[in-house]
Structure formats: C-alpha cells, structure tokens
C-alpha cells in the first residue's frame, strides 16, 4: 500500500465544503460520486504527482483533465506566469500576449482567426452562435455521449459528468432550446443523413468532438469526420470540430492532424481549450476569416468577456505551446503504450473483460468485452468493476479519473519511476475488479 495516511483532513474539508458548495465541488465528477469514497483534497502538484492535504503522493493520470501536458508546475510555464503576474493580472484592454497566442494557434491549426475565451464551454457556445449567424438557421446536430461543455443546447445526452451520473438531459434547460439540438448516435453517418432529411434547411451546424473522449475514448471510424464535413456542406451547414480536449494533445495539429490533414478537407470552425491554457482558464474558437469576422465588433454576432484573453492565461499557454514538438508526442505515445500494455496484461491475468481505446496519447479502459464505438457500447461497461479498480489504484497512490466515462492522460513529466508505480499497482487493482 502506497497510501500511508488515511484521508482524514480531506474528509473534514469535504464535509465543510458540502455546507458551502453544492455537493462540495465546483465540477460534479470531482465529488467521486460514481466511484465512492472521499475525494483527496489536493494541496499541491509537481511533475507527474499530486499531493493531498493528508500527506499522500499520487501518480496523476488526470493531468487536470488534459491541460497539464508538460507536468505540473513546469518551470518554463511558471516563469512565464510569474512574469505576467508581476505586470498585472488583468487589463480589460488589448495586450500583446493575445495576438502572440493567436499566432501560435493559427500557425499550427487550419484556422485563419481565433478569439480567446475563458472555458471550453464558452468556446463551443460561441462557435455555434457564429454558425447560426452565418447560416441564419437554428438547429444543430450533436452526438450522443459527446460533451461540449454545459451550455443549455449542448447538454442533451452529453458525456463526461452527465454520463457519469446518468443524466440524459439537464433540468433547467428550456424545452425550446433543447428542441433545437438533434442528437444522433456517434459513428453513424446514416443517422446524420436522416437528420438532414428530416429538417431541410434548418440545421446550422454539426458539432462533434474531433475524436470523442467524454464517453471514454472513441475512435472515429475511417472517413467518419470527412463524411460529416461533406454532409454538412451538401446541406448548407457548417462542421464544428471540438478540439477542446484533443487539441495539441496528440499532434501539433490536434486530432485533425491525425485524421484529416492529408485528405484536403477542413472543418469550418474549431474549438480549443485545455492545453492552450496550460492549466489557466483559457480556451479559443477559430476558423476562416470570413466566418470569424461575423463576430462583433467586425460583424453582427455578439460575444464578449471581462477576462477574455487574460494575460496570465496567454503567457502560460504560449510558454507551453512553444515546448510541444513531435518528439514530445512520441514520448507521450510510448508512455501511454506502456501503460495500456500493462493494463491489458493485468486485467487479462484476472480474466476481467475489457476493451482499450486510444486517441493518440489519450486512452481509456472500458470494463466490457464489447467493441466500443459509441455511447450505447460505452454504456455496456461494468461500472462496479471500474469503481473497485479505481479505489484500489487510489489506495496504491495512482490518481485515475473518478469516472468510467473519462480518459487517462500522461504528461512529459511521467518518468520511469512514475510509470513503474502505475504498473506495480495494476495487478491488485485487477484482482479488486475481478471480485466486484
């Protein structure tokens, strides 16, 4: 057992937080509701490790749900943030860092202009507004199990926390708003075709995760993303590729670089987040100039933000993006490959049914023997087995996403020592899963 200290202080803090914050957390999955137990309260993080207030060290395979690609508290990122902080925390006025970060994104992704926002939720919400403004249409198509943040229209059959807690659609979403979202199964072009046929000239956009990672990792079938692009254009609609999670995680050009870069098709609008903010609240959406110039003050689509383009966020994001190269993605791939092989071996040893899916350097292990290609197959998982597995990994000092519908991330700081610790924890976690 790696955990030497019981989660006493964490439990006290969780109890206090529950009096003040709904469920004790500011984002639902953090409450450990679907895996049980007390969430460790984190005091600090360094490299590949999280440290809780009770004195335990964990190898972190969540990496703040994606942004931490270099490892926690990376010196170059910290230096950039400290320098920026010393100059003032927010100006509410243009500053050089905004265009510098925009230039770094435009250099890597097939977008001509980007606007910076504070969260992935804002990015997707705003991209949809641009698509509606551009087409004069209201409806959008989204895929069951995909998560694009928590704006009203995007919560129908959403992945991530909504999937974790089996919430098919959130309370509080106006029926009229929900009616404009058409939900279809992932990896099913015929369903998309049927949606266009049923709503002629009404659909503004298809929004899709470039590769879904919020119902576990799902790989788009061959030609699926291009098929979406072609269908959207055939029907006068736009394709929004949500790369909030996948962007800059597996290749410099996001998942699009792995999937579409060589085939000559480009989504109309992209959304980014996580890695481009390096752990600070920063996200972006972008596309062709003619679409992005629909935004105020150039055009009639309104979008704004007090803290948008915050100088700490742009400094952190730029410092991180400057350190990403193909060699780093190669290293992340090797680390993920080692973990996936060890996971497979440990679970096979205990005859625990499982399927491992990968999106570049991101991976997830489903406790099912089914091939997982969409939300319906993702939901065949034995979530009890996952919860037992999760608890045992945590007890041994490995911090996994506390949900069977989330993915694992590695960072460049995950060295042999950290990976060895994960590998050593797997056999007893597999035994716990087998018993569940």
Ligand X SMILES: Cc1ncc(COP(=O)(O)O)c(C=O)c1O
- Restricted to residues 96-155, the positions that interact with ligand X (CB under 6 A) are 119-121, 124, 147-149
Q: Which of 213, 224, 242 is nearest to 405 (CA)?
A: 213
* Residue 230 DSSP one-character state: H
Binding mask 271-310 for ligand X (x = CB under 6 A): --x---------x---------------------------
Q: Please pick, among 49, 58, 147, 399, the residue that the annotation labels catalytic.
A: 147
- Restricted to residues 370-429, the positions that interact with ligand X (CB under 6 A) are none
Interstrand relation of 203-209 and 181-184 (parallel, antiparallel or unpaired): unpaired
Q: Which residues face 356 on adjacent strands?
A: 365
Binding mask 194-213 for ligand X (x = CB under 6 A): ---------------x----
Sole binder of ligand X in the list 13, 244, 292, 332 (CB under 6 A)? 244
Sole binder of ligand X in the list 10, 38, 181, 214 (CB under 6 A)? 214
Q: Residue ranges of the alpha helices (H) in 52-207? A: 75-86, 96-108, 120-135, 161-164, 175-178, 189-198
Please state the closest distance from residue 286 (CB atom) to ligand X, in A: 14
Is the separation of the CB atoms in 266 and 257 below 8 Å? no
Is the separation of the CB atoms in 316 and 282 below 8 Å? yes
* Residue 351 DSSP one-character state: T
| For helices 416-435 and 326-349, angle between their N-to-C axes, nearest 10 degrees | 30
Nearer to ligand X, 148 or 229 (CB): 148
* Nearest-CB residue for ligand X: 120
Is 147 marked active-site? yes
Binding-site residue total for ligand X (CB under 6 A)?
16
Please state the closest distance from residue 17 (CB atom) to ligand X, in A: 20
Three-class secondary structure of residue 140 per DSSP: strand
CA distance 120 to 275: 11
Sole binder of ligand X in the list 242, 268, 392, 412 (CB under 6 A)? 242
Is the separation of the CB atoms in 320 and 412 below 8 Å? no
Binding mask 151-190 for ligand X (x = CB under 6 A): ---------x------------------------------
Q: 51, exposed or middle or buried, with CB in 10 Å at 0-12, 13-18, 19+?
A: middle
Is 242 marked active-site? yes
Q: Please pick, among 113, 139, 142, 274, the residue that the annotation labels catalytic.
A: 274
Q: Please pick, among 242, 259, 268, 412, the residue that the annotation labels catalytic.
A: 242
**Interface ranges with ligand X (CB under 6 A):** 65, 119-121, 124, 147-149, 160, 209, 214, 242, 244-245, 273, 283
Residue positions annotated with a catalytic role = 147, 242, 274
């Amino acid at each position: 057992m790696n955990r030497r200290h019981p989660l006493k202080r964490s439990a006290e803090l969780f109890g206090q937080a529950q009096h003040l914050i709904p469920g004790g957390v500011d984002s639902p999955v953090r409450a450990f509701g679907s895996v049980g137990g007390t969430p460790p309260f984190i005091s600090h993080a360094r490299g590949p490790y999280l440290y809780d207030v009770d004195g335990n060290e964990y190898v972190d395979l969540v990496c703040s749900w994606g942004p931490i690609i270099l490892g926690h508290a990376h010196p170059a990122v910290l230096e950039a943030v400290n320098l920026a902080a010393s100059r003032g925390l927010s100006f509410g006025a243009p500053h050089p860092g905004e265009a510098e970060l925009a230039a770094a994104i435009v250099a890597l992704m097939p977008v001509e202009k980007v606007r910076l926002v504070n969260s992935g939720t804002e990015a997707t919400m705003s991209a949809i507004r641009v698509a509606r403004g551009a087409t004069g249409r209201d409806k959008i198509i989204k895929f069951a199990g995909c998560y694009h943040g928590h704006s009203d229209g995007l919560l129908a059959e959403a992945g991530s926390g909504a999937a974790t807690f089996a919430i098919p659609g959130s309370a509080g979403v106006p029926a009229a708003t929900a009616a404009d979202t058409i939900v279809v199964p992932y990896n099913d072009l015929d369903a998309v075709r049927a949606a266009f046929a049923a709503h002629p000239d009404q659909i503004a956009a298809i929004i899709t995760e470039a590769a879904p990672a919020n119902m576990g990792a799902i790989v788009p079938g061959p030609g699926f993303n291009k098929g979406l692009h072609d269908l959207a254009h055939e029907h006068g609609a736009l394709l929004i590729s949500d790369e909030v999670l996948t962007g800059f995680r597996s290749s410099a050009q996001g998942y699009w670089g792995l999937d579409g870069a060589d085939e000559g098709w480009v989504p109309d609008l992209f959304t980014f987040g996580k890695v481009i903010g390096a752990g600070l609240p920063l996200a972006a959406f972008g596309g062709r100039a003619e679409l992005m110039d629909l935004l105020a003050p150039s055009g009639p689509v309104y979008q704004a933000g007090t803290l948008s383009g915050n100088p700490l966020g742009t400094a952190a994001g730029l410092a991180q993006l400057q350190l990403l190269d193909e060699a780093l993605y190669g290293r992340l791939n090797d680390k993920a490959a080692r973990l996936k092989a060890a996971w497979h071996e440990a679970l096979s040893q205990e005859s625990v049914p499982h399927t491992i899916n990968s999106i570049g350097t991101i991976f997830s292990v489903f406790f099912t023997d089914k091939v997982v290609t969409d939300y319906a197959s993702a939901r065949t998982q034995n979530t009890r087995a996952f919860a037992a597995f999760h608890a045992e990994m945590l007890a041994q000092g490995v911090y996994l996403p506390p949900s069977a519908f989330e993915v694992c991330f590695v960072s460049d700081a995950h060295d042999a020592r950290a990976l060895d610790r994960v590998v050593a924890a797997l056999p007893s976690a597999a035994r716990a899963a087998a018993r569940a």
